[in-house]
Each structure stands twice: as C-alpha cells, then as structure tokens.
Structure 1
C-alpha cells in the first residue's frame, strides 16, 4: 500500500526553465534602466551561460543556490565591465522576486496535489530551492527535503532515505515522482523505493534506466497508487 508520495519540484510541478528566463529578463530590464550601456552587452543566453559556469566552479564549495545565483550576478557585472556588488545584490533580489512570484504551475499540478492531499503523506524532494511557502504551496506538503540543506544531491540515495524517514512510512509504502531518469529514478532505485518517471515530452528512454512506472501527466498518479490498495 502506498502511504507517502514525494515529488521533484522543478520541471515536475512547474516549468523551471521558463520562469528562470522570465526572472532573468526582469533583472536585465532593471539593469538596463540603471546602466543601459553595460546592459546592452548582455543577453539572457549570456546570463544563463555565466550562471552555469559559476555553478560548476562553486560545486562542492557553496551549496546554497541563492548564494550561487548572487555570485553569478557579480560575475555577470564583471563580464560587462561594470563590477558592483551592491548592484548585484539588487539584481539578485529582482530575480528572486520574479522567480517565485511569477511561477506558473503545470495545468495538472494543483488538481493532482489537491486530489492526493489527505489521502497520502505528500512531500517535496528536490535539488532546487523552490520552498513551497515561497511558491504558493504552503501547507501542501508534510515533509520537505532540499539537497542544499544537506550538502548532497539526487541521485544520492541518502536524500531519499531522509525523505522516507520524514514521511513516517516504510520504503515499501513510499513512491517518488520526478522528471529526471538520472536524478529521480536512479536515486529512488538506489534507495529501494518505487519511482514514477514523469515524461511530459514523451521522450524516448534510451538510457537503460527503468522506472517502476512511466506517466505523461500527474493526473495518472491516483490510478498508480490505487493499484496498491
């Protein structure tokens, strides 16, 4: 019997890439207002590339993703010849505001969570930093496990074991749902819990990583859980 369900966050419950680029665009607009000549040398693609590079450089050194994002803004300003740590803090705040305030859930997210709430212990298990109270999901989850709080990332099975422990259920009563074969499915298998691969784009699985279940919409979760009743 399934008693607890953990969800990945980014690209499972919402489109992270879309809201991230939107928030960067808002920060770039503010930068252009304050320093148009320097801002003209930037694009969102350049900002994304700098964030990726900074993230790799800080991997294993800094685990707080907001600190990584701030470091990326500082590097971005240096990149365009306008170093200013105070401005970086300001732009980071603009980014974070829109990153959370303007987040849009996938159409099946809230109906699914509302249907499952009360019937199962629900939780978040994420390598990101989208804490539910900042995303309009306060009170929805009974447990929350974020990689940055533990200094390890999925697919490390220890994160899944922490989630199982926080759920108060056994591994055989636990189900994890996520969009990544490598992070979500591999991690769940290593921890000995069932996995559901959310394959919204109907991608071909040529990685040899087999989930227990594959779905294209979250609304299919209820049927999976009912199979174990």
Structure 2
C-alpha cells in the first residue's frame, strides 16, 4: 500500500438519516398534487405509489438502477390507473417529481458530518457513491467532493463493481489507496471489500450485522470517530 488517498462515502443513512426525509418529501408531493391537481390527489397516496413501485421493480428489476425513473413512472402509472390519459399522467408525474426531488434534498446531517467532511477534504480526495438520487449541489456540499457517482449516472447500483471502478478512475488511484464509508453491510461494506477497497461500517442508525457476512474490521457509531480511525488505515 502506498497510503490512503481516496475516501468515498455513501450518502443516505451515512451522512444523514433518510427515512424521514423521504416521508416528508412524499407528504410535500401529495400536498402539491392536492393543491394543483385535486382530481388526481386520490390516485397518489404513498401506499398506492409503493404498490406500483413494487410491481414495476418485480417486472423490470433494472428500475433499481434509476430511482428517479422508477418514482416518476410509478406516479404516472398510478394516475393512468385512476383514469388519466397517458400524456397528462406523465406530465403531472414529471412536475410532481420535481417537487419531490426538491424536498428529498432537504436533509439534516448526522452530528459532526459537515465538520468531518471539511476536515478530510483538506487531506484526501473525497467522492460520493450512492444508489439514491440525492443532489449534492442542492444539498450544498458538492464543493467538498471531487465526484459523485450514482446508480443513475453509472447505470449499475452497488454492490456491483461499476461504481467503485468509476471512483478509482475519477481519483486516479489504485484500490489499495481507497477507503469506502457506508451504512449498508452488503451494498457498502462487503461490496467495497470485494472490490479492493478498505471499508468502514458507519452504523449510525443501529443496524444489525448479517450473520452470513464476515464482520467488518472497522466500524463507527458517530462520524466524528472517523478521523481518529484513519491513521490505522493510512499506512
């Protein structure tokens, strides 16, 4: 190893808790539809959209590589099922998704997250690797990252190797010079290890580690623990 140069971060549930963000974004979207298209409001309950989303994923698993398309198409199908013509349903769904996406990027960081990112950005190349569709510019932290690769931009979601390989190309480093920090045991930690990265499990939401996976060598419960851990990895 020639020293740690690149640190990549997952985003949702690693830098901020995401479940309430999504719930609030869905409520905001429902309110917007009720105000602007009251005749469509009953077709777009969160439960109805989840049912359509689940069906779309079962029928076309590739939807998981593009959550924007999945949510937008699920809304459109829900509207069409409620009697709207295809063109109108897709138009409303496209507008509604813009409302959703704006609200989806109104995040509250885990304690210490911004300070840790700002500190690490002085010494390492930082990258973001996410299966979700958050927008770092809207969130206000794009300047801290050299790159942001997502399932949508790459075309394949973690735990597949594509996003990790793209990160190495973007940073111009080898796998043994890279560390990935994420919350998901399979999509982040185990994937990073299998693709040659070092890995830190950021267990900020108290998940259980799966019994069928080798436990991680390094884990943290608070992002402020990360800088103190890096000397053990940077050698």
TM-score w.r.t. the length of structure 2 is 0.86
Paired residue for 2:203?
199
Paired residue for 1:54?
56
Distance (whole Å) between structure 2 residues aligned to residue 73 and residue 173 of structure 1: 42
Distance (whole Å) between structure 2 residues aligned to residue 62 and residue 198 of structure 1: 23
Measured against aligned partners, the alpha-carbon deviations of 1:107-140 in whole angstroms (never above 9, x if no partner) come to 2321211121111111101112223213211211
Stretch of structure 1 that moved more, 91-100 or 183-192: 91-100
Stretch of structure 1 that moved more, 4-13 or 38-47: 38-47
> Are residues 146 and 104 of structure 1, via their aligned partners in 2, closer, same or farther at CA, if it must alter by over 3 Å?
same
Distance (whole Å) between structure 2 residues aligned to residue 195 and residue 114 of structure 1: 20
Paired residue for 1:186?
190
- Cα drift, residue 54 of structure 1: 2.6
> Are residues 21 and 81 of structure 1, via their aligned partners in 2, closer, same or farther at CA, if it must alter by over 3 Å?
farther
Stretch of structure 1 that moved more, 151-160 or 172-181: 151-160
> Are residues 93 and 18 of structure 1, via their aligned partners in 2, closer, same or farther at CA, if it must alter by over 3 Å?
same
Q: CA RMSD in A?
A: 2.2
Measured against aligned partners, the alpha-carbon deviations of 1:154-212 in whole angstroms (never above 9, x if no partner) come to 11123212212222222222110001011011211211111111112333323332223
Choose which of 161, 164, 179 in structure 2 pairs with 1:157: 161
> Are residues 46 and 120 of structure 1, via their aligned partners in 2, closer, same or farther at CA, if it must alter by over 3 Å?
same
Larger helix fraction of residues? 2
Paired residue for 2:230?
225
> Are residues 206 and 138 of structure 1, via their aligned partners in 2, closer, same or farther at CA, if it must alter by over 3 Å?
closer
> Are residues 144 and 37 of structure 1, via their aligned partners in 2, closer, same or farther at CA, if it must alter by over 3 Å?
closer
Give yes or no for the alignment of 1:92 onto 2:97: yes
Paired residue for 1:176?
180
Q: Is the 8 A contact 1:7 1:124 kept in 2?
A: yes
Choose which of 140, 143, 161 in structure 1 pairs with 2:147: 143
Distance (whole Å) between structure 2 residues aligned to residue 114 and residue 86 of structure 1: 40
Stretch of structure 1 that moved more, 185-194 or 204-213: 204-213
> Are residues 35 and 180 of structure 1, via their aligned partners in 2, closer, same or farther at CA, if it must alter by over 3 Å?
same
Q: Is the 8 A contact 2:73 2:90 kept in 1?
A: no
TM-score w.r.t. the length of structure 1 is 0.88
Paired residues, number: 228
> Are residues 221 and 39 of structure 1, via their aligned partners in 2, closer, same or farther at CA, if it must alter by over 3 Å?
same
Q: Is the 8 A contact 1:38 1:81 kept in 2?
A: no
Paired residue for 1:11?
13
Distance (whole Å) between structure 2 residues aligned to residue 3 and residue 54 of structure 1: 40
Give yes or no for the alignment of 1:77 onto 2:79: yes
Distance (whole Å) between structure 2 residues aligned to residue 65 and residue 53 of structure 1: 14
Measured against aligned partners, the alpha-carbon deviations of 1:134-156 in whole angstroms (never above 9, x if no partner) come to 32112110122222222212111
Runs (4+) of structure 1 exceeding 6 A deviation are none
Paired residue for 1:67?
69
